[in-house]
Chain A
Amino acid sequence: MSENQSQQVRTLVDEVYRTQSRQVLATLIRLLGDFDAAEEALHEAFAVAVEQWAREGVPANPRAWLVSTGRFKAIDGMRRRARFDASLPDLAHHLEITTDPVLDEGEDAVEDDRLRLIFTCCHPALSPESQVSMTLREVCGLTTDEIARAFLTKPTTIAQRIVRAKGKIRDARIPYEVPSETDFPDRLDAVLRVVYLVFNEGYSASSGDSLTRHDLSGEAIRLGRVLVGLLPEAEVLGLLALMLLQDSRRAARTSPTGDLILLEQQDRSLWNRDQIAEGTALVERALATRQVGPYTIQAVIAAVHADAPEAALTDWAQIVGLYDVLLQAESSPVVELNRAVAVAMRDGPLAGLALVDVILSRGDLTNYHLAHSARADLCRRLGRTVESKASYERALALTQQEPERRFLEGRLRELG
């Protein structure tokens, strides 16, 4: 074999690793009943692939070949270790006779394994941070270093989190399964929450080097697409739509110097039209199911913004109505605040301010910087400079985000 040919095989193996390794892993976890054993088997299978595919050609179904090779390697490894551990020969034998003939498994089985993996990583008996780390590591295939960089923590912290989560899955016996019908809605909520959390970590890039963190949004969107492929339920469609529509504004959200640009002032020609088209189509699919939930409603709101050729032409009456629906589906002070801002746009700043003050007086959002910057903006529009400055200063004291800080300082300077 020439240098060139072996290079070609290596490129192909890399490509298969990139596109199929997570599916192979998901199936191996089911067959071997253990995350670590499955990961080891996955790497051994790819190591064999580099050698064997160069010699004997690429198999017709690389994924099935990798699963079968990985499983064989794992059983083989257990046999070898069995000489030192009396319980292992039984286990190796058990694996051989109980696992299905892998090569016969169709697409459905592969998809079920992916879902099993996603639901297990997002199991509510794992801490929220572990759910995120496990999903990014096991489902998306990010390295612990990559996850640590994205979340601005040490790789050892992420590694410990993953080790602990796997320990709990094993010792507390969290089953590797798609939840039963009764548990399904709650468990799906948990999965969607993890995906949206990952998206927002990247989208708001709340601190630090925003560039690497943006990758998280891309990862969340990729995950959203996988989920839509596996489970085209209303809220799954709604969440992907929401992420695409929010992400479509990425280029317009910050100036070349990294300063924040509000929706109102954004150059709408910079909005990503492909993402808007895809997001809008997904919103329509979600609405057609007639099982509308909070993600879909938020996506519809984002679609209304996307639909306005300029800020002044935004259909604020419709947005207020959608926030009313959202409040019914999921009442929260942050949603109320967003509704108040929309009311201000529809009926004028005075009407909005009255609502914001009611929310703030309840004390729910006392430490939420956006509540104070919203109040500051409404006072500014009303010409109440002293009040406006006080609220901007309050917001400034509360914000953790560098671009946000610069934005608020800019506003304060303008007010003199």
Chain B
Amino acid sequence: MKYLCLVYVEEKILHALPSAQRQTISDESMAYCDRLQKLGQLVTASPLHPVDTATTVRVRDGKTSTIDGPFAETKEQLGGFLLLDVPDLNDAIRIAAQFPAARIGSVEVRPMKEQGCA
């Protein structure tokens, strides 16, 4: 059985922390991930860039709309995820737009930070 764990943090609170404390959290997270991976309990993990960098993709009537910002509506629930490895945002948008769910829901495209531990 695979589980996707989604980590929610209020960015404002995170950014307000002293940098030493942020570093501690980051180091602890990495170490924890390493441990889980050695145990065979973790497939992959990665921090994301802040929500500022999000793009939301929808397709309606065959037309792709690309909007700056995260997916903001609350009536739809997170239904799954794809972890892409492509050269740039244009490729990510193109792939997201072809995913069937983009025609009925929305796909939020978030760039991952390079320093993932998995």
Contacts and interface: CB of A to CB of B under 8 A. Distances in A.
Interface of A: 124-127, 130, 164, 167-168, 171-175, 177, 179-180, 183, 186
Contacts of A124: 65-68
Interface centre among A130, A173, A175 (most CB of B within 10 A): A173
B53 interface: yes
A157 to B, nearest CB: 16
Interface in B97-118: 109, 111
B18 interface: no
16 contacts: A125-B55, A125-B67, A127-B69, A167-B53, A168-B52, A171-B49, A171-B111, A172-B49, A172-B54, A172-B111, A174-B88, A175-B87, A177-B90, A179-B90, A183-B90, A183-B94
A186 B64 contact: yes
Contact of B52 (A167, A179, A180): A167
A167 B68 CA distance: 13
10 cross-chain pairs, A with B, having the tightest CB-CB distances, nearest first: A124-B66, A175-B88, A127-B68, A125-B55, A172-B53, A172-B111, A171-B49, A171-B53, A173-B88, A174-B89
A175 B53 contact: no
Interface in B38-73: 49, 52-55, 63-69
Interface of B: 49, 52-55, 63-69, 87-90, 93-94, 109, 111
Interface centre among A127, A130, A164, A174 (most CB of B within 10 A): A174
A345 to B, nearest CB: 34
Nearest to A186: B64
Contact of A175 (B49, B54, B90): B90
A308 B52 CA distance: 51
B52 A164 contact: yes
A416 B72 CA distance: 51
Given A167-B52, A183-B90, A173 B111 contact: yes
Interface centre among B52, B68, B90 (most CB of A within 10 A): B68
A310 to B, nearest CB: 43
Contacts of B67: 124-125
Given A127-B68, A127-B69, A175-B90, 13 more contacts: A126-B68, A171-B53, A172-B49, A172-B54, A172-B89, A173-B111, A174-B89, A175-B88, A177-B90, A179-B90, A180-B90, A186-B63, A186-B64
A164 B90 CA distance: 19
B52 A125 contact: no
A227 to B, nearest CB: 21
Nearest to B88: A175
A168 B49 CA distance: 9
A125 B64 contact: no
Nearest to A175: B88
Contacts of B52: 164, 167-168
Contact of B89 (A125, A164, A180, A186): A125
A174 B49 contact: no
A340 to B, nearest CB: 27
